[in-house]
Amino acid sequence: MAEPKRRVSKTRRDKRRSAHWKLEMPGLVKCPNCGQAVLSHRMCKACGYYNGREVVKVAEAAK
């Protein structure tokens, strides 16, 4: 069975593993109704619209 020639240093090991845990930016898009940044495939919290329809009534005071 194959054996490693040298011990891998902690730094080299950690550099290799660092790329696996990067956080990704969520897919933000502009709401076509109000222009607010919204997560894709979700209702806009500012205006209550999704896919061109009003899904939830949002109070006017919040706007």
Across the chain, which has 63 residues, the per-10-residue mean pLDDT values are 92 88 82 93 93 87 48
Residue 47 near residue 33 (C-beta atoms within 8 A)? yes
Question: Residue 47 carries which side chain, given as an amino acid letter?
Answer: C
- Strand runs labelled E in the chain: 28-30, 37-39, 49-50, 53-54
Domain parsing of the chain, residue ranges:
25-62
Residue 45: per-residue pLDDT:
92
Q: Which residues pair with 30 in a beta bridge?
A: 37
Angle at 5 between CA 3 and CA 10, to 5 degrees: 105
Q: 3-state DSSP call for residue 15?
A: helix
**Full-prediction pTM beyond 0.75?**
no
